[in-house]
Amino acid sequence: MLAAEYEMLRHTWFPVARVADVDETGPLSANILGEDLVVYREAGVSTVAGAYCPHRGMDLTVGQMVKGELECPYHGWRFAPGSGACTAVPSLPDRPAPPRSNLRVYPSREAYGYVWAALETPDRDLPAMPEASDPDWQFAHGGPTDLGCGLRQVTENFRDMSHFAFVHRGSMGPNVQQVVDPYKVHRDGVELRWTLDVDLGGTAMDGNEGVAGKQRFDFYLAAPMFATVKAEFPEGGHSLVVQFATPITVDGEKVRHFWSIGIDSAVFEKHGANMAEMRQWEQEIFDEDFPIMERLRPREAPLDLHSQAHTRSDKFSLEYRRIYQELIDGRIATAVSAT
């Protein structure tokens, strides 16, 4: 990874944990670009900090929450939520904490069921996802899964309809439409949108053609890696699959993959498909994608537009790579977000 790309990604929001996981298990380990992090949560507020205690370098991800604070399992030092300030040194109960005793805290926020963080002040806010706050929608969150590939490979795969008929024969069946119709990609800053009609064959989910047959896909991609696909079913109802990838090595060739699925009330009312069934089907689809992702070479999709062959179905891919290169080059104006 070139230095300019590394710097761009340091100023990007990435998901580091599911909120429900932090609530259930306590402090969790996370990583962005090879930097080890600890995620902890108290009173509805998540904190993302450096993973190692400033005293003797103990891994705080194996600590616990005590009186609303993160306690180091080695010497019992405690750190406040939000600020990461050292609030207790049990071996010196009558003295203030020594210098350099606070945790380094990173910009963080909660959105769409995830804890997000950035290594530096983010250049842009997170894209809007109105379905997440619509009471007619319900969501389930999959993953996370670590994959040996770059975030562009993952992001492109999610939108590549021409692989459905081959990679997803197991989850979708043998009758998936192979031809990708011509389409137009609409760009707005770092965002891309396009629409395609598709026939998934109608054999999946015990032959439930209402959700596994013909439908319209509205694709959305916000570089560098925020992506959704909204399906509109002919007889009513919608689903929304959301995908994020966080680089967890300095070279960017390993990512942590997060995904969610949402459905509106009409999916069950008109087609009898509930959230558990839709989530399971989507998990099967991703499970077929993962081994493909890890066998692609190079491990990251090249930004050089001439080193690979392209077809008309790859139009979105070319536009995405152009935007990504512009982000690296700093040619797209930034919109600084509040943390």
205 assigned to some structural domain? yes
Out of 72, 91, 117, pick the residue that ends a domain.
117
Distance CA(164)–CA(158), nearest Å, equals 10
Beta-strand pair 78-79/86-88: antiparallel
Which domain does 215 fall in, by range?
Answer: 130-329
Q: Count structural domains, the chain.
A: 2
123 assigned to some structural domain? no
Out of 96, 117, 138, pick the residue that ends a domain.
117
Q: Are residues 95 and 21 in the same domain?
A: yes
Q: Are residues 293 and 158 in the same domain?
A: yes
Residue 335's pLDDT is 53
Q: Are residues 200 and 316 in the same domain?
A: yes
Would you state the torsion angle of the CA atoms of residues 197, 290, 129, 195, taken in this order, to the nearest 10 degrees? -20
The DSSP code sequence of 89-141 is: -TTSTTSPPPTT-SPPBPPEEEETTEEEE-SS--SSPPPP-GGGG-TTEEEEE
CATH code of 305's domain: 3.90.380.10
Residue 339's pLDDT is 35
Distance CA(146)–CA(309), nearest Å, equals 28
CATH code of 48's domain: 2.102.10.10
Q: Where are the beta strands (DSSP E) in the chain?
A: 14-18, 28-32, 35-42, 45-50, 64-66, 69-71, 78-79, 86-88, 108-111, 114-117, 137-147, 186-188, 191-199, 214-222, 226-232, 238-247, 255-264
234 assigned to some structural domain? yes
Residue 338's pLDDT is 39
Q: Are residues 67 and 161 in the same domain?
A: no
Assigned token pair, 234 = 């002919």
Q: Are residues 99 and 183 in the same domain?
A: no
Distance CA(146)–CA(289), nearest Å, equals 13
Residue 334's pLDDT is 64
Distance CA(41)–CA(49), nearest Å, equals 11
Residue 94's pLDDT is 86
Residue 337's pLDDT is 44
Residue 295's pLDDT is 98
Q: List beta partners, residue 240.
A: 230, 262
Reported as a single tens digit per residue, the pLDDT across 119-175 is 999 999 999 999 999 999 999 999 899 999 999 999 999 899 999 999 999 999 999
Stretches in the chain below the pLDDT threshold 50: 336-339
- Tell me the C-alpha to C-alpha distance, in Å, between residue 7 and each of 2, 76, 225: 9, 35, 16
Q: Are residues 32 and 145 in the same domain?
A: no
Q: Are residues 108 and 137 in the same domain?
A: no
Q: Are residues 164 and 62 in the same domain?
A: no
Q: List beta partners, residue 37.
A: 30, 50
Q: Are residues 82 and 203 in the same domain?
A: no
Out of 63, 95, 117, pick the residue that ends a domain.
117
pLDDT cut 70: percent of the chain above it: 98
Q: Are residues 108 and 163 in the same domain?
A: no
219 assigned to some structural domain? yes
- Tell me the C-alpha to C-alpha distance, in Å, between residue 177 and each of 162, 213, 285: 9, 10, 16
Residue 131's pLDDT is 97
